[in-house]
Amino acid sequence: MSLFNACKGWLAASSAAVLLAACADDIGPAPASFISDGAPSALGAAYRLGIGDKLKINVFGEESLSGAVEVNAAGQVALPLAGEVPAEGKTITQFRELVANRLADGYLKNPKVTIDITNYRPFYIHGEVKNGGEFSYKTGLKLRDAVAMAGGFTYRANQSYAIVTRDGTGEVRVPSDGTVPILPGDNVRIPERFF
Q: Say which residues have a Cβ less than 8 Å from residue 109's Cβ, sequence separation at least 6.
A: none
> What letter would DSSP give residue 91?
B
- Average of per-residue pLDDT across 101-126: 93
Structure confidence by residue, pLDDT tens digits, 125-149: 999 999 999 999 998 899 999 999 9
Homologous superfamily (CATH) for 3-43+121-190: Outer membrane lipoprotein wza domain like (3.10.560.10)
Strand locations in 61-157, DSSP E?
A: 67-70, 76-79, 83-86, 113-119, 123-127, 133-135
**What length does the chain have?**
195
Cα angle value 82/87/90 (rounded, 5°): 130
Cα angle value 76/88/185 (rounded, 5°): 120
Return the domain boundaries, the chain.
Answer: 3-43+121-190, 51-119
Identify the pLDDT of residue 4.
Answer: 43
Structure confidence by residue, pLDDT tens digits, 25-63: 444 445 555 554 443 333 334 688 999 999 999 999 999
Domains 3-43+121-190 and 51-119 share a fold: no
Helix H, strand E, coil C: the string for 16-80 is HHHHHHHHHHCCCCCCHHHHHCCCHHHHHHHCECCCCCEEEEEECCCHHHCEEEECCCCCEEEEC
Cβ–Cβ under 8 Å, residues 96 and 113: yes
Identify the pLDDT of residue 88.
Answer: 93
Q: Name the pLDDT band for 16 (thresholds 50, 70, 90).
A: very low
Structure confidence by residue, pLDDT tens digits, 156-192: 999 999 999 987 678 889 998 877 899 899 999 999 9
Task: Identify the architecture of domain 51-119 in CATH.
Answer: 2-Layer Sandwich (3.30)
Identify the pLDDT of residue 39.
Answer: 37
Q: Name the pLDDT band for 10 (thresholds 50, 70, 90).
A: very low
Residue 6 to residue 163: CA distance in whole angstroms: 36
Structure confidence by residue, pLDDT tens digits, 60-106: 999 999 999 999 999 999 998 889 999 999 999 999 999 999 999 98
